[in-house]
Amino acid sequence: MIRVSVYDPGTQESSCGGVELIATWKRSADSIIWLDIEGESDDKARSLLGDFGIHKLAIEDALRPRHPPKLERFEKFLFILLRGLDADTEGMDFGVIQLSLFIGERFLMSRHAKASVSANWLYDEIQRDGKLMGAGPGALALHVSNRLSRRYLEILLELEPRLDEIEEEMFQRPDDTLLSELTRYKSRLRKLTRIANYHEQIALRLRDHKDVLIGETFQHEIVDLYEQIERTQSLSSLYYQISIDLTDGYLGMSSHQLNRVMQILTIITVIFVPLTFLAGIYGMNFQNMPELATGSGYFVVIGVMFIVAVFQVLYFRRKRWI
């Protein structure tokens, strides 16, 4: 799918449609265009990007299925490669897509293999308010980037109460499903932290090295972008550490419970060892056993066994082993 929006400064209105609007943009010397490429073939994407003078190395990076987020300045455009959440993302069970942004003096081009919630949001905003594109391609790119980074922050904020619930459940009804859930969170949070680190480097470069294609008037938007990414990075690192602590706590509690069970079983075994010893002696089938002829022998042995068992229980309680 290819979506095109063209802004006419004279009328201060935007037209939305398909590739036919590219010709309209070319006929005007001061109009602004946003070309969004979603899910098209690599050859089609190369052709469209090449028509706008995009460097072939930047095109190759944009078409790769996996590439670390980056910011690179070319002679006539600024290339920003971001990693966003896909449209099917729900909570921490997220998927990611590559979102490539090419910012020129009069154009913004975006390319993504799957549907992008951030790009869809911007397209809907332009349809509602045609003057939004008047701020320029750099402003549009910042809108998309801010929306993309905000989605990461939203799923992290949704995770916080769940971690609190897991901590309560660990003490009330510990279960292996909690350990499985925490393990999944650790894997996702580690991935989020890595993505946020890449994005933070991009935001830092935008903040500290002002680019004419972005414009100094959008410094506040850049700072806001950096703060969102920095908060995402710090929260993902914090929640990752919390998940580790909860996992260690769960394993520690499980180990403690196992030790208690083993302690009780060992004490029971120790109590019955002397009793089994006495029962073994008097269970032997020798004819010359004087105690067998004693009328009260059975009761004496039972009494001795009882006293031995009680003595051991009292001793273990005094040592606080039970």
Share of the chain above pLDDT 90, in %: 21
Supply the pLDDT for residue 196: 92
Q: Tell me how far apart the alpha carbons of residues 72 and 111 are, in angstroms, rounded to a whole number.
A: 16
Instruction: Report whether 178 contacts 250 (CB < 8 A).
Output: yes
Mean pLDDT along residues 238-250: 87
Map out the domains of the chain with their CATH numbers. 2-252 (3.30.460.20), 263-318 (1.20.58.340)
Mean pLDDT along residues 32-48: 88
- Check whether 239 has a pLDDT greater than 80: yes
- Using CA atoms in the order 45, 47, 52, 58, what is the torsion angle rounded to 10 degrees? 60
DSSP 146-197: HHHHHHHHHHHHHHHHHHHHHHHHHHHS--HHHHHHHHHHHHHHHHHHHHHH
Supply the pLDDT for residue 144: 92
Supply the pLDDT for residue 299: 83
Instruction: Report whether 126 contacts 16 (CB < 8 A).
Output: yes
Instruction: Report whether 36 contacts 2 (CB < 8 A).
Output: yes
pLDDT digits (tens, 9 = 90+) for 253-273: 777 677 778 888 888 888 888
Mean pLDDT along residues 237-245: 90
Q: What is the pTM of this model?
A: 0.78
Q: Tell me how far apart the alpha carbons of residues 126 and 33 are, in angstroms, rounded to a whole number.
A: 12
pLDDT digits (tens, 9 = 90+) for 68-121: 999 998 888 899 999 988 888 888 888 898 999 999 888 899 999 888 899 999
